[in-house]
Amino acid sequence: MQGFDLKKIKTKIERIARLLEKKYGPKKWKDRGNPLDVLIQTLLSQNTNDRNRDQAYQRLKTFFPKWEDVLEAPFRKVVGALRPGGLAHQKAKRIRKILRWIKRERGRLSLSFLRKLDSQQLKATIGSLEGVGPKTFYCLLLFGLKREVFPVDTHILRIGKRLGLIPNKMTAEKAHQWLAPLIPKGNSLSLHLNLIRFGREICKAKNPSCHICFVSKECLFCKELLHD
């Protein structure tokens, strides 16, 4: 893309990654459950915050301990369990549709077979399912399968544009492909989680705390504010 020097952006991302790790520390892999658990959690995170997502997921697992139970229960009860996460009807419909697809294709409700597939096979198998957009797919790969990928959520898209890492008019969908070759090898997990924390605590959507920002020297947004 014109006006963007990818080599310079890659070097800039490396500097920012170091600053973030110095402030927040490196991140290690944690067990977030099996791939199917991670997929459902990520679906529930759409259009809501982490607190609401966690509440909806916990209710779902409390009311329906096995994924088979979600398929067998009355639809209205699944919707009721998901109510705290918002868009409960839509999410219940998508989750049940995905569970039915897994059961039909694999004979049992498990996505463990995904570990044996390469990226292209994964995209063809899971990426085409309703509700599984780029962010959901990449989160499944990163957190459920421990693949070296970099999901772009609303925080990362906003921060990336402010720092000059992502073109201003680029969508989150295209930003996944744009950033993929620019992320330092072995740093996807730490950079992803540290940027999200940075976006919640400092580089907020409204009223960002530029006066205490420790990456302000790298930020185009801060430089524009200083010139106003």
Tens digit of each residue's pLDDT (9 = 90 or more) over 71-118: 999 999 999 999 999 999 999 999 999 999 999 999 999 999 999 999
The model's pTM is 0.90
DSSP string, 144-155: IS--S-----HH
Which top CATH class is 35-144?
mainly alpha
Q: How many CB atoms lie within 10 A of CB 43?
A: 25
Whole-number percent of the chain with pLDDT over 70:
97
CATH class of the domain at 6-28+151-227: mainly alpha
93 is catalytic: no
pLDDT digits (tens, 9 = 90+) for 35-84: 999 999 999 999 888 899 999 999 999 999 999 999 999 999 999 999 99
Catalytic residue selected from 8, 12, 97, 135: 135
What residue segments make up the domains of the chain, in order of their start?
6-28+151-227, 35-144
Q: Confirm if 188 and 150 have CB atoms less than 8 A apart.
A: yes
